[in-house]
Amino acid sequence: MKKFLLALTALSVALMCGCSHIEEYEEDIETTEDEVEIQTVNVSNKDYYSRFKGQDISINVYNWGEYIPDGSEEGILNVNEEFTKLTGIKVNYSTYATNEELYAKLKGGASTYDIIIPSDYMISRMIKENMLEPIDMSEIPNFSNIMEKFRDPEYDPGSKYSVPYTWGTVGIIYDKTVVDEEDIGWDILWDEDYAGSILMFDNPRDAFAIAENLLGYSLNTEDSEELRKAAEKLKEQKKVIQAYVMDEIFDKMGAGEAIIAPYYAGDAVMLMDEFEDLDFVIPESGTNLFIDAVCIPKGCRNKEAAEMYINFLCEPDVAYAVADYIGYSTPNQATFEMLDDEVKEDGISYPDDDFIEEKTTVFCNLSDEANLEMQTLWTEMKSSEEQTPNRVIVPAFMAICVIASLVILIRRYIKKKKDIF
């Protein structure tokens, strides 16, 4: 029993350590909280929103996790609730973690959504596969708020199917107390000086984009040879990588577990708010610019209500609340003008137009073959090992199984003979 008590004490000590961390963390949030004023929504045209009042309509919204202000903290707008208050339309809200999950869900056809928010390349794939409903832009007067440069994007020529929601770039988050270098470029992710302290994207598209950038290829390349070279580059990188992660970056960078990691600008802003040692840089050589845009999938039940929701998201006040809460950049000109100069000019969330024009690439959908090849190369890269001790294991394992079976059979046979006599 004594040992159990000992174990229990150890456990509670560990828990207490954990708790104190959480408390500190909450305090951090509260202090930043005080500066935020309570947000309100002023909409441009109240009549527009009152069409469906009292008709008991509801729409299903399917969005990324943590991707809309939900009123969870004081002073933060609850977008869905505000929308219901304004229009009388109920919002059923659910979330997904990746574009691919969204795609699989829609492809499975088990559920109907009225609003989805996929990223650029997924939108072009869905357009190609006829999964999206064209949006009637005359129903969305606030589309005029969208910045010129985000209209008529490559993934959706003529903006027929999508209205940009947020955007951002991919850059490198690093601990400035350890990394003391100028001109940080993508090659720092290959730097052996930081071996074991570098994190990397755990999804092939983003990871390949970095390698392609270094090799000077297009981020949308479908060339088999180029993809193979990029995979080799990534394989080279494997020995310095601590782990392949996505959102675990928040924990690992926050706890000082890792020093360098590529990630999305919006998340970097959030991390830097919390941890002063962290800094963010967008490599000069260029990067990927991603756009998440609101779409209406085929099979939606109430298109007009969905369009009303999209229009609501384009209200400057709402878009401001979104940008403020999730930290991603806004494509909404009216909202952009409401931002603090500090945010506008720090070069993280809003790099200057020349850079965007010349050095960033938006992902397009790749062909099925290229996607498949990338996936195969990625799996191969991740499962390859430098030390290959496992070669012996399979035959050994099989041999043991066979020998064991034989031994049993022989023993049984002998016993049977004994039983007979």
Partner 1 sequence: MKKLISAPYLLWMAVFIIIPLIMVAYFAFTTTDGAFTLDNLAAVSQYSNIFIRSIWLAAIATVICLIISYPLALILARIDKSYQSTVLMIVMLPMWMNFLLRTYAWMTLLGNNGLINAFFGLFGLGPFKMLNTQGAVVLGMVYNYLPFMILPLYNVLAKLDKSVIEAAQDLGCNNTKTLIKVIVPLSMPGIMSGITMVFVPAISTFIISRMLGGGSNLLIGDLIEMQFLGNSYNPNLGAAISLVLMVIILLIMTILNQFDEDDDRVLM
Distance of CA 105 to the CA centre of its chain: 17
CA distances from 330 to 155, 173, 313, 318, 359 (A): 18, 21, 11, 11, 19
Q: How far is the CB of 369 from partner 1 (least distance, A)?
A: 9
Give the CA angle between residues 262, 266, 268 to the nearest 5°: 45
Q: Nearer Cβ to partner 1, position 89 or 123?
A: 123
Query: Of 17 and 110, which has the nearer Cβ to partner 1?
Result: 17
Buried b (16+ CB within 10 A) or exposed e, 92-102: eeeebeebeeb
Closer residue to partner 1 in complex, CB, 71/256: 256
Residue for token digits 């969005």?
63
Pairing between strand 132-133 and 287-297? antiparallel
Closest distance of CB 407 from partner 1, Å:
9
Distance in Å, CB of 161 to partner 1, minimum: 20
Q: Which is nearer to partner 1, 25 or 397 (CB)?
A: 397
Q: Closest separation between CB of residue 84 and partner 1, Å?
A: 31
Task: Choose between 67 and 363: whose C-beta lies nearer to partner 1.
Answer: 363
Cα-Cα-Cα-Cα dihedral sign, residues 152, 295, 293, 210 = negative
Of 118 and 351, the one with the shorter C-beta distance to partner 1 is: 118
Q: How far is the CB of 256 from partner 1 (least distance, A)?
A: 5
Helical residues (DSSP H) of 34-115, grouped into ranges = 46-49, 79-87, 99-108
Which helix H or strand E contains 244, and what residues bound it? strand 241-245
- Nearest to residue 172, comparing CAs of 267, 274, 65? 267
Residue 36 or residue 401: which is nearer to partner 1 going by CB? 401
CB nearer to partner 1: pick between 3 and 354: 3
Report the nearest approach of partner 1 to the CB of residue 262 (Å): 14
3-class state of residue 297 by DSSP: strand
Long-range contacts of 72-79 (CB under 8 A, 24+ apart): 73/29, 73/33, 74/33, 74/38, 75/33, 75/36, 75/37, 75/38, 75/39, 76/36, 76/39, 76/321, 76/325, 77/39, 77/40, 77/41, 77/318, 77/321, 77/325, 79/312, 79/313, 79/318, 79/321, 79/322
- Report, in Å, the least distance between residue 169 CB and partner 1: 21
DSSP E strand boundaries for 126-214: 132-133, 162-175, 198-201
**Tokens, residue 14:** 């560990």
Q: CB of residue 309 vs partner 1: minimum separation in angstroms?
A: 27
Spell out the residues 6+ positions from residue 345 whose beta carbon is closer than 8 angstroms to its own: none
Judged by beta carbon, residue 99 or residue 335, the one nearer partner 1 is 99
Using CB under 8 A as the criterion, which residues of the chain lie in contact with partner 1 when the complex forms?
1, 4, 14, 17-18, 98, 100-101, 103-104, 107, 196, 202-205, 238, 241-245, 248, 251-252, 255-257, 368, 371-372, 374-376, 378-380, 382-383, 385, 390, 393-394, 397, 401, 404-405, 408, 411-412, 415
Query: How far is residue 82 CA from its own chain's centroid?
Result: 26
Least distance (Å) between residue 364 CB and partner 1: 14
Name the nearest CA neighbour of 120 among 319, 398, 361, 413.
361
Specify the residue, 120 or 324, whose C-beta has the smaller distance to partner 1.
120
The token pair at 30 is: 């509260």
Determine the 3-state secondary structure of 287 from DSSP: strand
Residue 57 or 126: which CB sits closer to partner 1?
Answer: 126
Q: How far is the CB of 266 from partner 1 (least distance, A)?
A: 22
Residues facing residue 306 across a β-bridge = none
- Cβ 16 to partner 1, closest distance in Å? 12
Query: What are the phi and psi torsion angles at 281 (to 5°)?
Result: -140, 140
